[in-house]
Amino acid sequence: MSELEQHPADSPFHARLPIGERLEVSALTEGLPWAFEQIVMRPLEPMLVPEQPRNGEIDRSECGPCRTSPNTIWHDDLWQVYASPEPGGLPFMAAISPREHWLLEDAPVEVLAALGPLLQRISEAVKTVPGVARCHFGRWNDGSAHMHMWALARPRA
């Protein structure tokens, strides 16, 4: 990865951040009582720009979803689903990405239109995994430039 000359981000949002201070966490310890008893935050560091490029952003040969994977559990002409190879903290976790290298911002409408029915199928399939109550979906878009979402099986309470 190349070294970028970074500087603190400058926007009205960034200007009001309490850099060097610890953020208040009661929303996590009191709002999600099933998740955390105690959280200790690090002092907030400046957010630096430009951000480091994501995997596949500069060099497509480094893009994981563009390569075939032994962890692919399903695909059609437009989409593919990779299951997490190792058991983790959830009963099931998978990445959902287009077969071709698209960003959400430039994906063709036929690719995007196929996502809704696919998410419905994945949700129903994940709920058949023993011990699973629901399927959650997430998109953070920070690790890879290739459009991808996560299917996360929420265990039955």
Name the site residues for Zn ion (rule: CB under 5 A): 56, 63, 65-66, 101, 146
Token pair of 100, please? 């071709």
Q: How many other β-carbons are positioned within 10 Å of the β-carbon of residue 152?
A: 20
> Within the chain, where are the H helices?
12-15, 26-29, 109-126
Tokens 């959400």 belong to residue: 104
Task: Give least dist CB 42 to Zn ion, A.
Answer: 32
Task: Rank residues 10 and 59 by Cβ distance to Zn ion and give the closer one.
Answer: 59
Task: Rank residues 2 and 61 by Cβ distance to Zn ion and give the closer one.
Answer: 61
Task: Give least dist CB 81 to Zn ion, A.
Answer: 15
Task: Rank residues 66 and 135 by Cβ distance to Zn ion and give the closer one.
Answer: 66
Helix, strand or coil for residue 9? coil
Task: Give least dist CB 118 to Zn ion, A.
Answer: 18
The partner residues of 98 in beta bridges, in order of sequence, read 79
Helix, strand or coil for residue 49? strand
Task: Rank residues 70 and 89 by Cβ distance to Zn ion and give the closer one.
Answer: 70
The partner residues of 155 in beta bridges, in order of sequence, read 132
Task: Give least dist CB 101 to Zn ion, A.
Answer: 3
